[in-house]
Chain A
Amino acid sequence: MAGWPNPTQVMGKPTTRLDGVAKVTGAAKYAYDAQPEGWLYGMILYAKWAAAKVTKIDISKAQALPGVKAVILTGGEQRTVRYYGQELAAVAATTKQACLDALRAIEVEAQPLPCVVKEEDAMKPGSPPVSDGPNASNVSQPDVKEDGQVDQAIAGAAAVAELHLSTGTQLHHSLETHGSTVSVQSNGQVTAWSSTQGVFSVRDGIAGAAGVPQSNVEVICDYMGGGFGSKFGAGVPGGLATHLSKITGLPVKMMFTRLEEGLNAGNRPSSRQRIKLAADAKGKLVAADVENFGSPGISGGGQTAGGGGGAGIAIPYLYGFPAHRSQQSSIALNTGGSCAFRAPGHPPASFSTESVMDELALKLNMDPVDFRLLNDGFNVRQREYQVGRDKFGWAAKYKKPGSSPGPVKSGVGVAGGGWGGGGGGTKAEAQINSDGTVEVRCGTQDLGTGARTVVAIVAAEAFGLRPDQIKVRIGDTNLPPSGGSGGSSTTPSISPAIWDTCQNALAALQQQTGVADARGANWLDACKKLGVNPVTAQGQWREGFSSGGAGGVNFVEVKVDTETGYIRVTKVVAVHDCGLIVNPLTTTSQVNGGILMGMSYALYEDRVMDRLTGLLLTTNFDTYKLTNIADCPDIEVILIDMPERGVIGIGEPSTIPIAGAIANAVANAIGVRVTSLPITPAKVLAALGKVPNTPSA
């Protein structure tokens, strides 16, 4: 894009994360670490039933316990519990143990109600209604979209492939759980240390909860341990910490426990999909006929249809189908509600569509990569498939499904993804001091993706300095506003704003000092001329420096033990485009993380609910399984450098294709397809026909 220098001096070169040392030494302080003078622990009493009528909540015994400063109800005493984990009351006390004792001393009388926690059960007529009211239905009206003559196109197609596929509910399990430490002072000033993707949206939520003007509230997020779409607002813990702080006059720290994180932090909805794709004799896709129902928990059913806020996903995915029909419904369950989750609607859609694409390629006797090249209309992904195919050695590795010798079979798979993204709405300011020091301020926050380093890199580029010469201040609502960090929009939002700001500062410096070019070698001499008045300048996001529309493809090699079902991902080649790469180190790191998270989704993560009680069984990381270091494959990240497209985010596109690519590689290895995520040893053995018939429940 015209706006950026060409060539760049700092942008695009590897820059070590500026706060890396602080993070690994523990010097970096997270919301969890905030300890303002006199702070109290806050904890939540959550419902122990999936559905119940609460008739009485007696907090008197809890209030009398030593160390307990406040006990509050989070709603009326009589109310309906609709999912396990719903908050009923909250306590603040001087120690964590005092909180735990208080929670156990609160007496709740409730009448358990029938519940439904499995999608298939909720589909049955007469399933216990999750919501009240005349329009309450556990299954929403379908959201139907249709274009072209679908049935006709399928009937006339040379090849048709159809699969029934399912994906589980993926829980948000940020390593730093959700929460805030909130200090409401008697003068109405509020300070909050929050683990958040959006300091300004948390500020607004806390101001509302405290009943004070937004301008009275400062929200600080120096560091945070993961959000992935689930940490935009103050949330339940932020709101309760605010109430408890207001009552006690002391700061209150309220962070979810690991169990609460699994119950109440949000999740990626499940899916049950039927995907039917058709192609002509040359392999050109002619039609797609797809259906899905999934559950976003309590928020499903009723009038939610399949769209936003429900469980809708982006099917049929990625390819332009001349004729297509989709029908999606959302199912209500007595489980915690879903929320945005890294590339909402995309990973399950890529998994399903790309699975059927491989089945269709087999029927057409076409190589899966050739088949995609023939049908993918995005020129960036075209390039990525070709680069990745060579790097991966696809031609030598791709064999007929199931043809690898011996019980441990190797296989390869490929899949693609796409994401919108783009930037906007960020302001910043810069100050240049007479000793040459520079401070750049922006109210964005670093999700762990390297935003702080990005700010320094762009400023260094503008001033002809090194990134470590820039003092970066972010993560505070007292700084110029920036939006929430979501939708892969942070880097494309802040980079142009920082550039604009620094260009304005540089112009002011040069004007104030009369130095024609103050950059680089001239910097210190120019700054010396400033005297007592530092230069300050503001700037904002502008068109022409960033864009959206990223593509990515993954090539995967797996080994599958056909006698035990054990799956090992041995190699991943991930090819991504993110326009002008600001920092290849943190970009690569983000792609690595996207692959490991997507691999977790494909192979390990599975929320398991108990049908009878409606309670969560995967309460900890020994049963809610995540990719570990020992599971990590050899990952090769190839970033297609396209500076002419400006800055593009990578957070979401990096996690989309991997599940589909793994599923395709497993199918290629063992010669049969596992159509359900996560792909576990049990499912591999079942797909191979090795599991004896078992009684059904």
Chain B
Amino acid sequence: MKAFQYVTAGSPEEAASLIGPNGRYLAGGIDLVGEMKEYIVSPDVVVNVKGVFSPKIPTILFSDDHAGCLLFATASIAEIAAHQDIQNAVPGLSEAASEVGSPQIRNVASLAGNLLQHSRCWYYRQPDIVCLKRGGTMCHSHDGENKYHSLFTGNPCISPVVSNLAIILTALDATAHVNRGGKDQAMKMAELYHEAWVNPTAHSSLDPQDFLTQVNVPFSRTRSAYRQVSEKAEFDWALVNCAAAGNVTGGIITNARVVLGAVAPVPYMVAEANKFLEGKPLTDETASKAADLILREAKPLEHNGYKIPLAHALIRRTLLALNP
């Protein structure tokens, strides 16, 4: 990798002041260090942000009225997965966290790093190809090897978002807080990723200088679930993942949000499907109809058409898992 300056920040504000025009924040380093070793990114400053929050405050905080929780950016995936109150209040979040990578990765990887990780497209990661996402002139996967790629996109890049937590946090209608230019900015998950839908070089809406400080998760939806299918049992990316959240009373669902991952550059949600589910009995038939609505605009390429039946099954299963 290219030589860089390594500095440690004591607060989010200090981190933002140290980052400079070509710096990167380092928490778990799972994604960043790999990219640096492959010369995909070559920052001149690496800001260690592991200790920007007081060690006296837990990385996961519940509000007094138990209406929601706050996850600090540096919370490890393992902490989120193992947290008993999260398992009780938003089980879908625990499930999504426990499917990230391997135990070793979950122990080190951070919430912010998981949300803001870069594309896993095998052209983007190929050390000797400069693809569209890396500033090249063409998306090689569109007419090439696109088995793991998107069914939906708003730009010529078809590499999908792969963060498990992005999917469930979108379903839970969470809000990210970002220190941007010294100011705190609240962003819904859709805003956090929107840029990746329209801009082929973007992985999220954040610039490297933006510092994601925390994510607030409301517990207004009392039921949540997350399901994924990979080729392998563990330590494998999801071929497709799905998260759903809502309230279920007497078998009737309200406030539903269903989100697909690994099929679009952003967590993919179709408002019409959520609307359709409102007040419906949570049955295989309604879940199947919702799946049809979500997948209606899917544009399969040569090798990723299997994601359509797979996503359909996952949507049904995830929705039905909301039944108490």
A interface vs B, CB < 8 Å? 48, 84, 97, 100, 259, 407, 561, 563-566, 568, 603-604, 608, 610-613, 615-620, 622-623, 625, 627-631, 680-682, 685-686, 690-697
Question: Quick one: which of B236-294 are within 8 Å of A by CB?
Answer: 236-237, 239
Shortest Cβ distance from residue A173 to the other chain B in the assembled complex, whole angstroms:
15
**Complex Cα–Cα for A48 and B300 (A):** 31
Shortest Cβ distance from residue A529 to the other chain B in the assembled complex, whole angstroms:
57
**Complex Cα–Cα for A694 and B299 (A):** 9
Partner of A694 from the list B127, B239, B302 (CB cut-off 8 Å) is B302
Known A-B contacts A613-B129, A615-B128; A628 and B309 likewise in contact (beta carbons under 8 Å): no
Query: When the two chains form their complex, are residues A608 and B306 in contact, meaning their CB atoms are under 8 A apart?
Result: no
- Interface: B303 (CB within 8 A): yes
Query: When the two chains form their complex, are residues A680 and B231 in contact, meaning their CB atoms are under 8 A apart?
Result: yes
- Interface: B184 (CB within 8 A): no
Known A-B contacts A681-B306, A685-B306, A691-B306; A617 and B122 likewise in contact (beta carbons under 8 Å): yes
29 pairs, CB–CB < 8 Å, chain A vs chain B: A84-B128, A563-B317, A565-B229, A565-B310, A608-B122, A610-B123, A610-B129, A611-B145, A612-B143, A613-B129, A613-B140, A615-B126, A616-B126, A617-B145, A620-B125, A622-B120, A622-B236, A625-B231, A625-B236, A628-B233, A630-B233, A680-B231, A681-B231, A681-B239, A685-B309, A686-B306, A690-B306, A694-B304, A695-B302
Query: When the two chains form their complex, are residues A628 and B229 in contact, meaning their CB atoms are under 8 A apart?
Result: no
Partner of A631 from the list B145, B232, B310 (CB cut-off 8 Å) is B232
Give the residues in chain A near B120, CB-CB below 8 Å. Answer: 622
Shortest Cβ distance from residue B79 to the other chain A in the assembled complex, whole angstroms:
21
Query: When the two chains form their complex, are residues A612 and B231 in contact, meaning their CB atoms are under 8 A apart?
Result: no
Most A CB contacts (10 A, CB to CB) among B122, B129, B148, B239 go to B122
**Complex Cα–Cα for A58 and B233 (A):** 48
Query: When the two chains form their complex, are residues A564 and B122 in contact, meaning their CB atoms are under 8 A apart?
Result: no
Partner of B309 from the list A611, A630, A690, A695 (CB cut-off 8 Å) is A690
Partner of A48 from the list B128, B231, B303, B309 (CB cut-off 8 Å) is B128
- Interface: B234 (CB within 8 A): yes
Known: A619-B127, A628-B236. 15 other contacts (CB 8 A): A564-B310, A564-B313, A565-B310, A566-B229, A608-B122, A610-B126, A610-B129, A612-B144, A613-B140, A617-B123, A619-B126, A628-B234, A691-B308, A694-B302, A696-B302
Give the residues in chain A near B147, CB-CB below 8 Å. Answer: 682
Shortest Cβ distance from residue A125 to the other chain B in the assembled complex, whole angstroms:
22
**Complex Cα–Cα for A627 and B235 (A):** 10
**Complex Cα–Cα for A342 and B186 (A):** 57
- Interface: B301 (CB within 8 A): yes
**Complex Cα–Cα for A381 and B317 (A):** 44
Query: When the two chains form their complex, are residues A682 and B303 in contact, meaning their CB atoms are under 8 A apart?
Result: yes
Partner of A619 from the list B122, B140, B239, B313 (CB cut-off 8 Å) is B122
Partner of B231 from the list A604, A608, A685 (CB cut-off 8 Å) is A604
- Interface: B305 (CB within 8 A): yes
Give the residues in chain A near B123, CB-CB below 8 Å. Answer: 610, 617
Q: How large is the interface on B (under 10, 10 to 19, 20 to 34, 35 or more residues)?
A: 35 or more
Shortest Cβ distance from residue A426 to the other chain B in the assembled complex, whole angstroms:
40
Give the residues in chain B near A615, CB-CB below 8 Å. Answer: 126, 128-129
Known A-B contacts A604-B232, A628-B233, A682-B147; A692 and B305 likewise in contact (beta carbons under 8 Å): yes
**Complex Cα–Cα for A686 and B300 (A):** 14
Shortest Cβ distance from residue B118 to the other chain A in the assembled complex, whole angstroms:
13
Query: When the two chains form their complex, are residues A608 and B145 in contact, meaning their CB atoms are under 8 A apart?
Result: yes
Give the residues in chain B near A566, CB-CB below 8 Å. Answer: 229-231
- Interface: B314 (CB within 8 A): yes
Give the residues in chain A near B143, CB-CB below 8 Å. Answer: 612, 697
**Complex Cα–Cα for A692 and B304 (A):** 10
Shortest Cβ distance from residue A207 to the other chain B in the assembled complex, whole angstroms:
35
Query: When the two chains form their complex, are residues A618 and B305 in contact, meaning their CB atoms are under 8 A apart?
Result: no
**Complex Cα–Cα for A631 and B120 (A):** 22
Shortest Cβ distance from residue B154 to the other chain A in the assembled complex, whole angstroms:
20
Give the residues in chain B near A259, CB-CB below 8 Å. Answer: 127
Query: When the two chains form their complex, are residues A628 and B129 in contact, meaning their CB atoms are under 8 A apart?
Result: no
Query: When the two chains form their complex, are residues B237 and A622 in contact, meaning their CB atoms are under 8 A apart?
Result: yes
Query: When the two chains form their complex, are residues B144 and A631 in contact, meaning their CB atoms are under 8 A apart?
Result: no
Give the residues in chain B near A685, CB-CB below 8 Å. Answer: 306, 309-310
Give the residues in chain A near B229, CB-CB below 8 Å. Answer: 561, 564-566, 681
Q: Can you name the residue of chain B whose Cβ is closest to the Cβ of A693? A: B305
Known A-B contacts A563-B313, A617-B123; A631 and B233 likewise in contact (beta carbons under 8 Å): yes
Known A-B contacts A619-B126, A692-B305; A681 and B310 likewise in contact (beta carbons under 8 Å): yes
